[in-house]
Chain A
Amino acid sequence: MSAIAGTPPKSFAVTPKLDAQGEPMGELLEVSMGPHHPSTHGVFRMDVVLDGEEVVKLKPVFGYLHRNHEKIGENISYLGTMPYTDRLDYFCSMTNNWGYALTIEKLAGLGVPERAEYIRVIMAELTRLQNHTCLIGFFMQDMGALGTPMMYAFREREKILDLFESVSGARMMCNYMRFGGVRVDVNDAWLAQARKVAGEYGSFLDEFEKFLTANEILLARTQFVGVLPKDLAVNASITGPMLRASGVNYDLRKVDKYGIYSRFDFRVPVGEHGDIYDRYMVRVLEMRESIKILQQALRDIPAGPVMDPKAKLRGFRPKPGEVYGRVEGPKGELGFYVISDGSPNPYRYRVRPPSFINLTTLEDMCLGHKISDTVVILGSVDIVLGEVDR
């Protein structure tokens, strides 16, 4: 590990390739990719230096969507931040809600009723399903398969968003969880529909995989492209499917066993090579494990209350102290660090955004590849700019 630790990114001064006489063969071209480029999934810019078609330097530039989420969080009450967390990673608002609720519950020492724990697991796994499905759709789009795979993905996503909408009132900005439980209970009809969606998802994945997994173009574009070595992935704090694709078995659902994840039987898929294909495959396998968790949770969900009776929504003032809570979001470790000074607002509120930190190694993965590969590599990182810029 020490060989990698300590080395700065390789491309501080770059020069064009030299010919046999030691003369430069051409000029370098600096391209500013983005911020309004469809492949950047939002407003994200890459300053790329090209030698011919090859990337010799790449610096990510962000902040176009910056609104200082943390400062807003410090100026409003604890509960007031909950809807703002939806806007972090707007694909996975349920997981963001859970991460924040979990942290504050740790801070204030609140318990969560059994039924609410099950509902949280169901919501988080549904979120993971729709996030990974959409990601694969976008990712195919980045490789040139315009429209069709993404529409297949969005058709399935809509079924999950319908479930979210019927329980929380909003498709994407759910604002569903509270400190000590969830906002409203789900009914039997909802559970039956969720069972149907979870039951049918496997056959959709079979269909999706039939077209993609052994597709010749996908294999050619993704295998051995954008390789992220294991020790660099650990050293650069990469988390989530990207880390596991590099061969590190680290899933917070297994490590921390937060919530009630210790009760479910599921496995953690781990990649071997750390290339884009492994990242794709880890996500597909993770979805299959999510379906398994969903079926177990929907089978075992008990009846009962969904809010801790001790939890106070108004006038909520936790005792002084600090806490760091983290959950395994679909993109990686989503952490919240909160310091309370006993007042109604947190003294310090910090979000550890997974996709922001996963971009650390973007340059390392892109160097030496063609400019068209950077688009696919960026797609495989799975970023959402609402969370990167905060």
Chain B
Amino acid sequence: METLEQIKARLEAVLPMTKLDILSNECPAGDRSLLVHAASGFAVAKFLRDDPLLKLDYCSNVTGIDWPEATIKTKVKKKVAVAGVEKEIEETIETLRSGHLEVVYHLYSMELKHGPVVLRLRTENRTDNTQLPSLTPLWRGAEFQEREVYDLYGVIFEGHPDLRRILMWDNFEGFPMRRDYVAPDDFEYEPTPHDEVLAEAKKHYPVEPKSEVKP
């Protein structure tokens, strides 16, 4: 199969307006991935599927990842001249990572038996702008998996034929796979609560109106 750089060069020639980045992977056995801007995600995926050299007809795995806002510390070695003597100093650089949700597609070719090409799409943020183009119109195999990502992460796939919750029930609130999800208080854990569980459970009981006792 072509290297990711060759695929990227060809994509840029065919779709000149696309923004593409190759993300490195620190694990030597893992694969690097192609980060695509959400707006051109569908066009890039269609190219990867239909291109005669690639023919990535099999979308094996679709998954979401939650990246909350965080400061990332990277250590950089620097040479500084202190009083005429060169010294190596380790410096920590803090960068602010804006929060976003990410969807990863692992694409293989069943016909040419190669792969994977790892495709990543990112949402604008984690709260109100979580739309991404759905790739289900290209690969039916993404149908249930995108529903699952919607269900557990809250990514809204535009163009998905049947976007409903799949593993959780329909009127469930929240997205359980997000890093900041807090599980609801399990106050009905014991049928007859006592001790700490009772103290917790009492917070959920309705307040009884005080009965007026006449002397």
Contacts and interface: CB of A to CB of B under 8 A. Distances in A.
A63 B166 contact: yes
Interface string B66-103: 00000000000000000000000000000000000000
Contacts of B65: 339, 348
A350 B63 contact: yes
B139 A337 contact: no
B110 A248 contact: yes
**Majority SS at the chain B contact face:** loop
B27 A8 contact: no
A357 interface: yes
A112 to B, nearest CB: 13
A333 interface: yes
A255 B113 contact: yes
A70 B177 contact: yes
A62 B118 CA distance: 28
A319 B25 CA distance: 11
Contacts of A255: 113
Interface stretch (A22-30, A174-182, A229-237, A299-307): A229-237
A8 B59 CA distance: 17
Contacts of A106: 27, 29-30
B139 A235 contact: yes
Nearest to B116: A324
A324 B140 contact: no
Interface string A323-354: 11010000001010101100000001010100
A356 B63 CA distance: 14
B106 interface: yes
Interface in A361-375: 361
Interface in A147-168: none
Interface string B138-181: 11111111000000100000000110001111000000110000
A390 interface: yes
A70 B175 CA distance: 13
Interface residues of B, number: 40
Given A232-B140, A255-B113, A1 B57 contact: yes
Interface in A281-333: 318-324, 326, 333
Given A63-B168, A324-B61, A352-B61, A6 B27 contact: no
Contacts, number: 114
Contacts of A33: none
A68 B30 contact: no
A51 interface: no
Given A5-B137, A335-B60, A352-B60, A66 B162 contact: no
A219 B76 CA distance: 69
B181 to A, nearest CB: 8
A390 B161 CA distance: 24
Contacts of A339: 65
B145 A66 contact: no
A237 B139 contact: yes
A255 B111 CA distance: 11
B31 interface: yes
Contacts of A202: none
A238 B25 CA distance: 28
Contact of B140 (A70, A237, A319, A335): A237
Given A237-B140, A333-B60, A250 B26 contact: no
Given A235-B139, A324-B116, A357-B144, A8 B162 contact: yes
Contacts of A356: 144
B196 to A, nearest CB: 22
Nearest to B143: A360
B176 A361 contact: no
Contacts of A62: 166-167
Contacts of B43: none
B61 A359 contact: no
A169 interface: no
Nearest to B50: A2
Contacts of A321: 25-28, 30
B138 to A, nearest CB: 6
16 contacts: A62-B167, A63-B168, A106-B27, A232-B140, A234-B111, A235-B57, A237-B59, A250-B113, A320-B27, A321-B27, A322-B25, A324-B116, A340-B27, A348-B63, A350-B63, A360-B144
Return the 8 tightest CB-CB contacts between A and B, nearest first. A237-B141, A321-B27, A8-B161, A236-B140, A63-B167, A323-B30, A321-B26, A106-B29
